[in-house]
């Protein structure tokens, strides 16, 4: 999607403060503790020169650590021309609440580098990333026990590999150096399943919401993802993987919007084939069987679930009254403004909030971090033991019954979990448990008005318990 939202006058951080205040009314925590939780603890603004082409450019960059109630702090680094201090602060605050909701024991942080990655060569990106990392090192804003970045909009495995390499060069004796950043390539200490984690988490979250029969009845739907219509904004890492898992789960993706336009097909779009088309042509447009439509009009199509998976402020006071879906599944951070939310709530649209729904990324980052500081791959110890146990059980059953298992049955029972199995299983468990925690808060009888407020209430209550040592809670 475009680097600039179409509603730039909104302060993203103010929206987050509004959500916080709305939730705080339902929480019995001393005012001073709420004040401590609410604001950003440390915000670092950096400017550094980098040689771009034959010129030197001053790069503006940030790292905001919102909350140190748990360490390290955690959150991605965004590379975009839309980066500014307000945005980075807002995103760091969302990280704090996100981690609390999914029980990931980190405070929230976020970084931003104001560049357009599409206009930079790989060498220039590397220079910028390494310099940014060394600036963070100088001010103690990175480290396995301090603050652990990850990918975000405009960054991925490649950038994370440069970051860990820079960090390890500065700290050759740091045994946990790999834990200074997550989202790394598997060959550099990454974990299998991290790349698709946010999209897979979005899928698990939406699937869980659509599994509650009484809620579906209220939305005028039958339970289950199969056959439901989806519109997705953004076909980057999160958008693509959300599409992939929704499609595999039987959902019908009728439209996908990107920065250069949107495509529509009432019979559904196959995301894997679309990905191949984009790799070949450089754009999702002109994908066989689809018609091209306006990228903003796509959001206003009638559908069951709208998944904004790009940037913040995409559904705002200008287009909120034209949104016609039943559910908005916030795969991006902050795609709906507070103003828009009022309109959408009145229309009865159910919003599954970002601080729950896109937490799959940081959840698997947490697994990667655990792998890095424990220096062992998940599944290494137990896989073959579990396989032997399955084999033994099968042979006992065969002896007792006199029947031989088919090869399909054998494969099912004799299989030990590898790293990817464990990551998917841990992510699925996390998303299902967290969904019901926030849904229960919504239906607790306290009068919490919507699922976002319920998610904030859940998060703030958990964070507040970290201040028990101050003696404020008996
Ligand atoms: N950038 C991602 C997010 O917004 C992932 C953060 C992480 O893995 O630390 O949640």
DSSP 324-389: -EEEEE--SSS-B-HHHHHHHHHTT-EEE-HHHHTTHHHHHHHHHHHHHHHTS-TTTTTHHHHHHH
Q: How far apart, in whole angstroms, are the C-alpha atoms of residue 430 and residue 204?
A: 9
User: Could you tell me if the CB of 362 is within 6 A of ligand 1?
Assistant: yes
Q: Collapse the DSSP code of 293 into the 3-class scheme (helix H, G, I; strand E, B; otherwise coil) and give the result.
A: strand
The answer to the question of residue 12 being in a domain is no
In angstroms, what is the span from residue 92 Cα to ligand 1's centroid? 10
In angstroms, what is the span from residue 239 Cα to ligand 1's centroid? 14
User: Could you tell me if the CB of 237 is within 6 A of ligand 1?
Assistant: no
Last residue of a domain, one of 357, 385, 404: 357
The answer to the question of residue 109 being in a domain is yes
Cβ–Cβ < 8 Å for 210, 216:
yes
In angstroms, what is the span from residue 101 Cα to ligand 1's centroid? 14
The answer to the question of residue 442 being in a domain is no
User: Could you tell me if the CB of 96 is within 6 A of ligand 1?
Assistant: no
User: Could you tell me if the CB of 77 is within 6 A of ligand 1?
Assistant: no
On whether both 275 and 126 belong to a single domain, the answer is: no
Ligand 1 atom index nearest CA of 362:
8
Helical H segments across 375-469, by residue range:
383-401, 407-413, 419-442, 451-464
The answer to the question of residue 67 being in a domain is yes
Q: Collapse the DSSP code of 106 into the 3-class scheme (helix H, G, I; strand E, B; otherwise coil) and give the result.
A: coil
On whether both 208 and 141 belong to a single domain, the answer is: no
The candidate with the shortest Cα–Cα distance to 355, out of 153, 79, 92, 121, is 92
The answer to the question of residue 214 being in a domain is yes
- Using CB atoms within 10 A of its CB, is residue 390 exposed (0-12), middle (13-18) or buried (19+)? middle
On whether both 209 and 157 belong to a single domain, the answer is: no
For residue 295, the model assigns a pLDDT of 97
For residue 45, what is the enclosing H or E element?
Answer: strand 42-52
On whether both 91 and 182 belong to a single domain, the answer is: yes
On whether both 349 and 213 belong to a single domain, the answer is: yes
User: Could you tell me if the CB of 72 is within 6 A of ligand 1?
Assistant: no
For residue 138, say if its preceding peptide bond is cis, omega within 30 degrees of 0: no
**Residue to substitute in 92, 109, 151, 191 for testing ligand 1 pocket (most ligand atoms within 8 angstroms of CB):** 151
For residue 10, the model assigns a pLDDT of 73
- Whether 461 sits among the annotated catalytic residues: the reply is no
On whether both 246 and 279 belong to a single domain, the answer is: yes
For residue 9, the model assigns a pLDDT of 60
Ligand 1 atom index nearest CA of 77:
1
Bridge partners, 116 (sequence order) = none
For residue 468, the model assigns a pLDDT of 79
Closest residue by Cα to atom 7, ligand 1, is 362
User: Looking at 110, 228, 295, 326, which residue is catalytic?
Assistant: 110
Ligand 1 atom index nearest CA of 98:
10
On whether both 251 and 134 belong to a single domain, the answer is: no
The first and second tokens of residue 8, run together, are 């730039």
The first and second tokens of residue 331, run together, are 């795969």
In angstroms, what is the span from residue 76 Cα to ligand 1's centroid? 5
CATH value at residue 231: 3.40.50.720
**Residue to substitute in 63, 67, 72, 76 for testing ligand 1 pocket (most ligand atoms within 8 angstroms of CB):** 76
Query: Into how many domains does the chain fold?
Result: 2
In angstroms, what is the span from residue 301 Cα to ligand 1's centroid? 29
Last residue of a domain, one of 333, 357, 381: 357
For residue 472, the model assigns a pLDDT of 63
b or e along 122-137 (b: 16 or more beta carbons within 10 Å of the residue's beta carbon)?
A: eebbbbbbbbbbebbb
The answer to the question of residue 4 being in a domain is no
Residue 25 CB neighbour total at 10 angstroms: 11
For residue 5, the model assigns a pLDDT of 44
Closest residue by Cα to atom 8, ligand 1, is 362
On whether both 172 and 219 belong to a single domain, the answer is: no
On whether both 179 and 222 belong to a single domain, the answer is: no
**Residue to substitute in 150, 180, 333 for testing ligand 1 pocket (most ligand atoms within 8 angstroms of CB):** 150
Bridge partners, 291 (sequence order) = 264
Residues listed for the chain: 474
In angstroms, what is the span from residue 362 Cα to ligand 1's centroid? 5
On whether both 122 and 85 belong to a single domain, the answer is: yes
User: Could you tell me if the CB of 343 is within 6 A of ligand 1?
Assistant: no
Per-residue pLDDT of the chain (474 residues; tens, 9 = 90+): 444 344 456 799 999 999 999 999 999 999 999 999 999 999 999 999 999 999 999 999 999 999 999 999 999 999 999 999 999 999 999 999 999 999 999 999 999 999 999 999 999 999 999 999 999 999 999 999 999 999 999 999 999 999 999 999 999 999 999 999 999 999 999 999 999 999 999 999 999 999 999 999 999 999 999 999 999 999 999 999 999 999 999 999 999 999 999 999 999 999 999 999 999 999 999 999 999 999 999 999 999 999 999 999 999 999 999 999 999 999 999 999 999 999 999 999 999 999 999 999 999 999 999 999 999 999 999 999 999 999 999 999 999 999 999 999 999 999 999 999 999 999 999 999 999 999 999 999 999 999 999 999 999 999 999 987 776 665
For residue 299, the model assigns a pLDDT of 98
First to last CA, the chain: 49
On whether both 214 and 317 belong to a single domain, the answer is: yes
Ligand 1 atom index nearest CA of 333:
4
The answer to the question of residue 8 being in a domain is no
Closest residue by Cα to atom 9, ligand 1, is 75
Q: What does R_g of the chain's alpha carbons equal in angstroms?
A: 23
CATH value at residue 53: 3.40.50.10860
Residue 13 CB neighbour total at 10 angstroms: 23
Cβ–Cβ < 8 Å for 386, 418:
no
In angstroms, what is the span from residue 193 Cα to ligand 1's centroid? 14
User: Could you tell me if the CB of 304 is within 6 A of ligand 1?
Assistant: no
Which residue shows structure tokens 């679309």?
A: 274
Ligand 1 atom index nearest CA of 91:
4
The answer to the question of residue 329 being in a domain is yes
Four-CA torsion 150, 273, 200, 80, nearest 10 degrees: 30
Last residue of a domain, one of 292, 327, 357: 357
For residue 306, what is the enclosing H or E element?
Answer: strand 303-308
Q: What is the DSSP letter of 50?
A: E
Domain range for 100: 42-188
Ligand 1 atom index nearest CA of 359:
10
On whether both 147 and 217 belong to a single domain, the answer is: no
């Amino acid at each position: 999607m475009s680097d600039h939202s179409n509603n730039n006058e909104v302060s993203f951080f103010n929206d987050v403060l509004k959500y916080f205040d709305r939730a705080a009314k339902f929480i019995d925590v001393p005012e001073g503790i709420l004040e401590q939780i609410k604001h950003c603890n440390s915000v670092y603004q950096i400017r550094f020169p980098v040689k771009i082409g034959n010129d030197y450019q001053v790069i503006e960059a940030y790292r905001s650590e919102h909350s140190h109630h748990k360490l390290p702090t955690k959150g991605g680094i965004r590379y975009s021309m839309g980066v500014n201090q307000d945005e980075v602060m807002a995103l760091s605050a969302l990280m704090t609440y996100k981690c609390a909701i999914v029980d990931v024991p980190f405070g929230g942080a976020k970084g931003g580098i104001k560049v357009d990655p599409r206009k930079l060569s790989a060498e220039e990106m590397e220079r910028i990333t390494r310099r940014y990392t060394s600036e963070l090192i100088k001010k103690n804003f990175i480290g396995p026990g301090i603050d652990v970045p990850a990918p975000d909009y405009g960054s991925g495995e490649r950038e994370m590999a440069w970051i860990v390499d820079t960090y390890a060069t500065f700290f050759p004796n740091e045994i946990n150096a790999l834990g200074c950043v997550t989202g790394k390539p598997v060959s550099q200490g990454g974990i299998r399943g991290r790349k698709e984690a946010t999209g897979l988490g979005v899928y698990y979250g939406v699937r869980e919401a659509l599994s509650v029969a009484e809620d579906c009845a209220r939305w005028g739907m039958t339970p289950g993802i199969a056959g439901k219509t989806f519109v997705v904004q953004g076909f980057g890492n999160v958008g693509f993987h959300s599409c992939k898992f929704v499609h595999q789960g039987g959902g019908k993706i009728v439209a996908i919007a990107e920065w250069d336009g949107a495509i529509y097909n009432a019979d559904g779009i196959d995301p894997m084939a679309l990905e191949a088309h984009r790799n070949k042509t450089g754009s999702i447009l002109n994908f066989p069987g689809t018609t091209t439509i306006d990228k903003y009009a796509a959001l206003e199509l009638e559908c069951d679930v709208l998944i904004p998976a790009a940037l913040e402020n995409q559904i705002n006071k200008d287009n909120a009254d034209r949104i016609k879906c039943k559910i908005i599944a916030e795969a991006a951070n902050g795609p709906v403004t507070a103003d828009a939310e009022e309109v959408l709530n009145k229309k009865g649209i159910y919003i599954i909030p970002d601080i729950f729904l896109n937490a799959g990324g940081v959840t698997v980052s947490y697994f990667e971090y655990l792998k890095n500081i424990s220096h062992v791959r998940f599944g290494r110890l137990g896989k073959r033991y579990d396989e032997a146990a399955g084999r033994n059980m099968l042979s006992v059953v065969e002896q007792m019954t006199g029947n031989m298992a088919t090869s399909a049955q054998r494969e099912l029972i004799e299989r030990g979990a590898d790293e990817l199995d464990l990551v998917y299983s841990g992510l699925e468990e996390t998303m299902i448990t967290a969904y019901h925690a926030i849904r229960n808060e919504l239906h607790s009888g306290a009068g919490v008005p919507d699922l976002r407020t319920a998610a904030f209430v859940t998060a703030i209550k958990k964070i507040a318990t970290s201040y028990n040592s101050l003696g404020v809670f008996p």
